[in-house]
Amino acid sequence: MKHLLTTKELTREEAELILDVTEQMAEAVTGREVPKLPALRGRTVVNLFYEDSTRTRTSFETAAKRLSADVVNFAAKTSSVNKGESLRDTALTLQAMGADAVVIRHPAAGAPQRLTEWLDGAVLNAGDGTHAHPTQALLDAYTMRRRLGGIEGRTVAIVGDILHSRVARSNIWLLTKLGANVRLVGPPTLLPKDIDDWPVEIAYDLDASLKGVDAVMMLRVQHERQNAAFFPTANEYARLYGLDERRLALMPDHAIVMHPGPMNRGMEIAASVADSPRATITEQVTNGVWVRMAVLYLLLTNGESK
């Protein structure tokens, strides 16, 4: 692996290696007075963010710092991008300052792939348009592995705005590769049209779809990517596709509730469900740091030093 662009391109062995190294990272750092490893000392990681982020950007920064790397945070909104500088020139400028890895979030699908054509170092996709968000899917898979004891044979319902969701796409490819059954649930208007060859079940009735699940992943309704009315009102959406306490009770007792964040509380998920012990939302954030440590470590050292 030289870059991490999508989960579709990972082999099952590569995905399992990342999850195994994630476990090792968590064990190596948890409980230490100074939660740091020297593995990336002298390396520079650049966070190149053209889109808003709370979790992913700070998680990559924390992960890189825990591996003793130097971190440069670049926000397009306060940069010479506003003077018309291109993605290529911006990336080459950062490389000229010694970037060993570039973590990129961009509204255009395929932007991370383009960077690999221009840069010598590793490129990590932190979310590109509606295309892919591989480290989110890896942290979701790691959370399921820990909470459910494994992924093979488990049933995961992914609910809501699948059409605009890079998280859903990355999870579908990763979870099915790892042997899970994936069930997509949402209004027909928020399901992509070209999914006949996706390895998933499709359902429209959330109540029926919750029976027998091991995990339910609620997706944020992405108002910022919606340029049409995909459902009549927010109340109507919550009534048909929101996870509330009545629906939580339809799930098996062991089943967990996931959300990648940020959440629209009261729309796709009720506040009481988001805050319930069955929700893994903050645990997913914690696990995200371990996953990003594992990915940075594997890409920058080929797994050769720790």
**Which residues from 168-197 bind ligand CP, rule CB under 6 A?**
none
Residue 219 near residue 257, CB atoms below 8 Å: no
Contact track, ligand CP, 213-252, x by CB under 6 A: ----------------------------------------
Q: Kindly tell me which of 28 and 279 has the beta carbon lying closer to ligand CP.
A: 279
Determine if 7 is a binding residue for ligand CP (CB under 6 A).
Answer: no
Shorter beta-carbon distance to ligand CP: residue 36 or 265: 265
CB neighbour list of residue 291: distance below 8 Å, 6 or more residues apart? 18, 22, 63, 135, 138, 139, 142
Cα 136 to chain centroid, rounded: 1
Binding segment for ligand CP among 2-10, 22-30, 254-262, 298-306 (CB under 6 A)? 254-262
3 assigned to active site: no
Rule CB under 6 A: is residue 6 a binding residue for ligand CP? no
Binder to ligand CP among 186, 260, 263, 289 (CB under 6 A)? 260
Annotated binding residue at 56?
A: yes
* Closest by CA position to 70, among listed 104, 93, 47, 49: 47
Cα–Cα nearest to 108, from 124, 91, 132:
132
66 is in an annotated binding site: no
Structure tokens at 281: 């939302």
Q: How far apart, in whole angstroms, are the C-alpha atoms of residue 196 and residue 146?
A: 31
Minimum distance from CB of 143 to ligand CP (Å)?
12
What amino acid occupies position 205?
D
Q: Which is nearer to ligand CP, 37 or 57 (CB)?
A: 57
Q: Is 55 annotated in the active site?
A: yes
Q: Is 56 a catalytic residue?
A: yes
3-state helix, strand, coil in the chain (%, to 5): 40, 15, 40
Helix (H) or strand (E) holding 181: strand 181-185
65 is catalytic: no
Q: Per-residue x/- mask for ligand CP, residues 29 to 68, rule CB under 6 A?
A: ------------------------xxxx------------
With respect to ligand CP, which residue has the nearer C-beta, 56 or 171? 56
Q: How far lies 55's CA from each of 83, 148, 195, in Å? A: 28, 24, 29
Active site residue 278: no
Residue ranges of the annotated binding site for carbamoyl phosphate are: 55-56, 105, 133, 136, 261-262
For ligand CP, the binding residues (CB under 6 A) are: 53-56, 127, 136, 260-262
